[in-house]
Amino acid sequence: MNKFLKEFKDRGYFYQCTNENELSDLLDKKSINAYIGFDSTAPSLHVGSLMQIMCLKLLQNHGHRPIVLLGGGTTRIGDPSGKEETRKILSEKQIEQNIKNIQNVFKIFLKTNNPKLKPIFVNNYKWLGKLNYIKFLREIGKHFTINKMLSFDSVKLRLEREQSLSYMEFNYMILQAYDFLELNKNKNCLMQIGGSDQWGNIVNGVELIKRQSGNQVYGLTTPLITLASGAKMGKTEQGAVWLDKKMLSPYDYWQFWRNTDDRDVVKFLKMFTTISINEIEKIKDKNINDLKIILANKTTEMLHGEKSAKESEKMALSTFKDNSSGENLPNIKINKETLDKNIVELAAYVTKDISKSEIRRMIKANGIRIDNQLISDEKFIIDKKLFLTKGFIKLSIGKKKHYKIII
């Protein structure tokens, strides 16, 4: 088996592939260009997109050239895959600004001194924005049957649930297939990688290219990741785990990885770091907390640099000491309505994922502290006086959750 495909599987990236044996032979013979598409629906990607970025990095490490397609055109429409409702339509100005911001993330992860392996950035609005509708229907639309389009999960699920699916969204799969055709024609792109929910769209592209030009291209998909807890990858009670330090501090990013469920740690070392598989096999039986720190350091170093990773670890060690003031914790601002309410209301407001009854139980079990002092009364009032000395309070919920509260 080709070395890239073997490591792709060893790291847990592999789900499905079109004509795997033929692709393996091709990758043994020469370097290829391959792409992944990212719609620009937010000012940053979050860790839910990190596996796709790591796939491009692995591709690059094996001597192939990554193409990053930023969907300036398709974002204007919205991908219905995995969505239960129509996406909010963004303004063209928002989309272009998002593209500019997102591109910076790839420049960090895919940095290389080899000009032959530097990522190629493309915006599909460049060709989708110029399409002649009648010509497009005649040349491309004829290859897509309504019968087949209705069979795809992204469409079928919405219709079965009697949720609206706009004609605009219905066209998304055709445009994604056309993207692949365009990249094959102009960038010699021979493979598309995407999440397993994109399988139908990717196969459409492979088949369209075969019909239009006779060229053989390939599709490769990754599994959709859920945490051992069953939660969706990329979200916490505080919101999305962004890959932009303007939206999420390096410390919070480090903490996200440090708080990984024990059951996910080794899997995530394989998926989200560049530590070799052999090395991971050697260290996998280490103390689980040591492994979590390795995971947090390596992931943070890749995105924010070695200095930020070390500072985050140092800050965390300081914060989690019993006598830490909480000075170095990121700020969480509370509104006037939350002030002058009791500790149960404050803790519920800050954590969002812990019920008030659970907080009351934790108070009885000596699990809630303010400025390192136990709170034993669930009617304890949070008033302005608590903030006079330092300008903030440190709220500790259990052993792992610590918050710097400001007003």
Q: What are phi and psi of 19, to 5 degrees?
A: 50, 60
What six digits make up the tokens of 217?
């291209």
- Determine the pLDDT at residue 63: 97
Supply the CATH number for residue 312's domain: 1.10.240.10
Radius of gyration of the chain (CA): 24
Does residue 227 belong to any structural domain of this protein? no
Contact 20, 2 (CB under 8 A): no
User: How buried is 339 (Cβ within 10 angstroms: 0-12 exposed, 13-18 middle, 19+ buried)?
Assistant: middle
- Determine the pLDDT at residue 386: 85
Amino acid at position 323, single letter: N
Does residue 260 belong to any structural domain of this protein? yes
Q: Which of 154, 147, 195, 193 is nearest to 173 (CA)?
A: 154
Q: Is pLDDT of 238 > 60?
A: no
Q: In angstroms, how far is CA 339 from the centroid of its own chain?
A: 34
Do residues 178 and 34 share a domain?
Answer: yes
| Domain residue limits at 276 | 249-319
Among 319, 341, 364, give the residue marking a domain's end: 319
Do residues 183 and 87 share a domain?
Answer: yes
Angle subtended at Cα 232 by Cα 229 and Cα 235, rounded to the nearest 5 degrees:
105
- Determine the pLDDT at residue 84: 47
- Determine the pLDDT at residue 86: 52
**Bridge partner residues of 17 (DSSP):** 220
Does residue 238 belong to any structural domain of this protein? no
Give residue 219's pLDDT band: very low, low, confident or very high (50, 70, 90). very high
Q: Which of 239, 302, 254 is nearest to 42 (CA)?
A: 239
Q: Which of 231, 224, 228, 173 is nearest to 202 (CA)?
A: 173
Q: Which of 236, 240, 241, 294 is nearest to 265 (CA)?
A: 294
What pLDDT, in 10s, does the model give residues 359-390?
Answer: 999 999 998 988 888 999 989 988 888 887 78
Give residue 89's pLDDT band: very low, low, confident or very high (50, 70, 90). confident
Does residue 127 belong to any structural domain of this protein? yes
Does residue 241 belong to any structural domain of this protein? no
What pLDDT, in 10s, does the model give residues 125-148?
Answer: 999 999 998 999 889 988 888 888
Identify the residue whose tokens are 């024990």. 262
- Determine the pLDDT at residue 353: 60
Do residues 291 and 391 share a domain?
Answer: no
- Determine the pLDDT at residue 352: 65
Q: Is pLDDT of 15 > 70?
A: yes
Does residue 234 belong to any structural domain of this protein? no
Supply the CATH number for residue 110's domain: 3.40.50.620
- Determine the pLDDT at residue 100: 93
Q: Is pLDDT of 322 > 70?
A: no
- Determine the pLDDT at residue 321: 60
Q: What's the rounded mean pLDDT across residues 149-172?
A: 77
- Determine the pLDDT at residue 286: 94
Window from 170-179, 299-308, 393-402 with minimum mean pLDDT: 393-402
How many structural domains are present in the chain?
Answer: 3
Q: What's the rounded mean pLDDT across residues 44-68?
A: 96
Do residues 314 and 338 share a domain?
Answer: no
Give residue 149's pLDDT band: very low, low, confident or very high (50, 70, 90). confident
Do residues 57 and 200 share a domain?
Answer: yes
| 393-397 β-sheet, strand order | 331-333, 401-406, 393-397, 368-370, 373-374
Contacts of 57 (CB under 8 A, 6+ apart): 66, 109, 110, 274
Angle subtended at Cα 294 by Cα 289 and Cα 296, rounded to the nearest 5 degrees:
90
Contact 259, 1 (CB under 8 A): no
Q: Is pLDDT of 17 > 80?
A: yes
Q: What's the rounded mean pLDDT across residues 102-125?
A: 96
Per-chain mean pLDDT for the chain = 88
Does residue 33 belong to any structural domain of this protein? yes
